[in-house]
C-alpha cells in the first residue's frame, strides 16, 4: 500500500460473524483501499466469547476470501491505538438502531479524546440486517431455530455443534 492509501479498521468480537457484519465489511472494502477486520481478543463489554480467537478469525477469513483488500487481525489494545498501529485513520462501525447509536456515540467521543487523528465512520445497516446481532443468532441457534440465512456458510453448522456441546456439559 502506498503512503496515500486509505485504510480503515472494522473492529468487533465477531462471535460469530453474521451476514450483517459481512455487509459492513464488504461495503467498507468498496470505500477504502484496505480494510483491517480487527477481532477483539480481550473484551470488557461482553461475556467470554463462545468461539476462540483463532476460530473467529478463520470464520472471517473464509467469509471474506473473495475480498482482496481485506485482512483480519486480532487485537487486545485500545481500538484507536490499533488503528494507528496499522496506519488507519478511520474506524468503521455499523449501526442498526437507536440503541447502537447511543453506545457508539459515547465510544466515539472517548476515542476522539484518546486519538483526535482517528475518526469514526458509521454505516447504517442494510434493511435486511437491521435486526441482526451475534447474540440474537446464538439465542435462535440455542433453541434450534434456522440461522442459515443469518451467518456465512459453515458458521451455522459450527454454531449448532458448539451450542449442543454446551447444553450437554
Reported as a single tens digit per residue, the pLDDT across 106-136 is 999 999 999 999 999 999 999 999 999 999 9
Least confident of 14-18, 41-45, 99-103: 41-45
7-131 CATH pick, 3.40.50.620, 3.40.50.720, 3.40.190.10, 2.30.30.100? 3.40.50.620
According to the model, what pLDDT value does residue 75 have?
Answer: 97
Least confident of 26-35, 66-75, 94-103: 94-103
Reported as type and span, the H/E element at residue 158 is helix 155-168
Q: How confident is the model at residue 162 (pLDDT cuts 50, 70, 90)?
A: confident
**Residues in Cβ contact with 122 at an 8 Å cutoff, skipping those fewer than 6 apart:** 92, 93, 94, 95, 101, 104
Retrieve residue 81's grid coordinates. Answer: 491505538
Give the domain ranges of the chain.
Answer: 7-131
Contact 138, 50 (CB under 8 A): yes
Q: Of residues 3 and 129, which shows the higher confidence score?
A: 129
Is pLDDT at 31 greater than 60 in this prediction? Answer: yes
**pLDDT reading at 3 higher than 60:** no
pLDDT digits (tens, 9 = 90+) for 36-85: 999 999 766 557 899 999 999 999 999 999 999 999 999 999 999 999 99
Amino acid at each position: 500500500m502506498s503512503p496515500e492509501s486509505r485504510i480503515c479498521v472494522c473492529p468487533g468480537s465477531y462471535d460469530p460473524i453474521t451476514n450483517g457484519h459481512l455487509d459492513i465489511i464488504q461495503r467498507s472494502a468498496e470505500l477504502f483501499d484496505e480494510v483491517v477486520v480487527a477481532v477483539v481478543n480481550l473484551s470488557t463489554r461482553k461475556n467470554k466469547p463462545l468461539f476462540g480467537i483463532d476460530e473467529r478469525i478463520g470464520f472471517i477469513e473464509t467469509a471474506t476470501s473473495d475480498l482482496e483488500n481485506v485482512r483480519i487481525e486480532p487485537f487486545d489494545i485500545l481500538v484507536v491505538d490499533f488503528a494507528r498501529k496499522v496506519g488507519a485513520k478511520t474506524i468503521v462501525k455499523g449501526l442498526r438502531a437507536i440503541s447502537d447509536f447511543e453506545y457508539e456515540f459515547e465510544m466515539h467521543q472517548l476515542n476522539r479524546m484518546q486519538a483526535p487523528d482517528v475518526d469514526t465512520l458509521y454505516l447504517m445497516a442494510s434493511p435486511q440486517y437491521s435486526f441482526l446481532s451475534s447474540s440474537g443468532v446464538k439465542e435462535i441457534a440455542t433453541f434450534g431455530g434456522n440461522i442459515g440465512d443469518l451467518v456465512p456458510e459453515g458458521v451455522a453448522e459450527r454454531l449448532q455443534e458448539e451450542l449442543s456441546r454446551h447444553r450437554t456439559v
